[in-house]
Amino acid sequence: MDRIFQALADPTRRAIIKRLTVAPQRVTDLAEPFDMSLNAVSKHLKTLEKAELIDRDNRGRTSICSLRTEPLQNVQEWLDQYAHFWGSNLDAFSRHMEQASHTDGIAKADNTKDGDDHE
Amino acid sequence: MDRIFQALADPTRRAIIKRLTVAPQRVTDLAEPFDMSLNAVSKHLKTLEKAELIDRDNRGRTSICSLRTEPLQNVQEWLDQYAHFWGSNLDAFSRHMEQASHTDGIAKADNTKDGDDHE
DNA sequence: ATAACATTCAACCAAAAGGTTGAGTGTTAT
DNA sequence: ATAACACTCAACCTTTTGGTTGAATGTTAT
């Protein structure tokens, strides 16, 4: 749990996660949008990997990263532990109804909220 | 968001949060179970305060800490952003049903999982 | 075979995190 | 008034974090 929350505590890493929800990607592609060295991104990916937030498929000289679901489920379970404490207004059921409106596979260009940079 | 996840990344702080779901408490009481100085706990509380995870009520010489709900809601919203990605098997609806079984106020000695130290 | 590419390793650095101790500031009790 | 209590501040230390650069490794293309 420490490693998961720690991994999520960095904006670069959250941005990487966000990108990975669209599609698995190579290290170079993931690094491209950031104003930092490739090495720095490589290290971030290692952090994400240790937290088991990403998986890697080494295809020859490239390493393709993809999102893993387990850690996010762990976070959800941790949160649910306290659901009774803060639940109510946007509770699990509301979320279910919200979620039911897009049961398709991948990112439905969800611009219903605040455009793009929801982090 | 950085500050929230950062705050949650420490086991001591998560334990403090857990304790605070039972009832608001003084700094000394919160510090008691931990094998570290009162000062160390005081610092942890400051971290939690900066992340707005706790509130304080200064009553004379004591400072009473209580949980705030907003940051946990923010985490939930962040997670929900990706719900479609990992949802399914333990989804929002299941959680709602689970939650529905204990709508009473506070911690129902939830020993259905792994005893006590769910962190 | 050689060059370009994709990625990681290693050493380094500054800043932040998590802890310590000791002193300081109020507040309550006697 | 004095002592005990509940805390916070400040200085310090060590380890971790997030970044850098430069070299090293392995892979594909020519």
CA distance B53 to B66: 9
More confident residue, B108 or B83: B83
The architecture in CATH of the region A2-67 reads Orthogonal Bundle (1.10)
- pLDDT at res. A28: 97
For residue B85, the model assigns a pLDDT of: 72
pLDDT tens, position by position, B12-60:
999 999 999 999 999 999 999 999 999 999 999 999 999 999 999 999 9
pLDDT band of B91, cuts 50, 70, 90: low
Query: What is the pLDDT at residue B88?
Result: 46
Q: Which pLDDT does position A82 carry in this prediction?
A: 83
pLDDT at B50: 97
Query: In sequence order, which residues have a C-beta less than 8 Å from that of residue B34 and are 6 or more positions away?
Result: B12, B15, B40, B41
pLDDT tens track, chain A, 119 positions: 999 999 999 999 999 999 999 999 999 999 999 999 999 999 999 999 999 999 999 999 999 999 999 999 999 999 988 877 765 455 555 555 555 554 444 333 333 333 344 55
DSSP states along A13-38: HHHHHHHHHH--EEHHHHHTTSSS-H
| Strand positions, DSSP E, B1-119 | 25-26, 54-59, 62-67
pLDDT value, residue A43: 98
Asked whether the beta carbons of residue B1 and residue A11 sit closer than 8 angstroms, the reply is yes
C-alpha distance across the termini of chain A, in Å = 21
- pLDDT value at residue A67: 95
pLDDT above 80 for B89: no
Amino acid in position A7? A
Q: What is the pLDDT of residues B59-82, one digit of tens each?
A: 999 999 999 999 999 999 999 888
Residues with CB under 7 A from strand D: A 6, 9-10, 12, 36-37, 39-40, 43-44, 47, 59-61; B 26-29, 38-39, 42, 45-46, 56, 61-64
Question: What is the model's pLDDT at position A42?
Answer: 97
The answer, yes or no, to whether residue B112 has pLDDT greater than 90, is no
Inter-chain contact A2–B10, Cβ cutoff 8 Å? yes
Q: Where are the domains of chain B?
A: 2-67, 70-100
CA–C1' span, B36 to D11, in Å? 19
- The DSSP secondary-structure symbol of B114 reads S
Whether the Cβ atoms of residue B28 and residue B38 lie closer than 8 Å to each other:
yes
Task: Suggest the residue from A96, A103, A106 to mutate for an interface test with chain B (most B CBs closer than 10 A).
Answer: A96
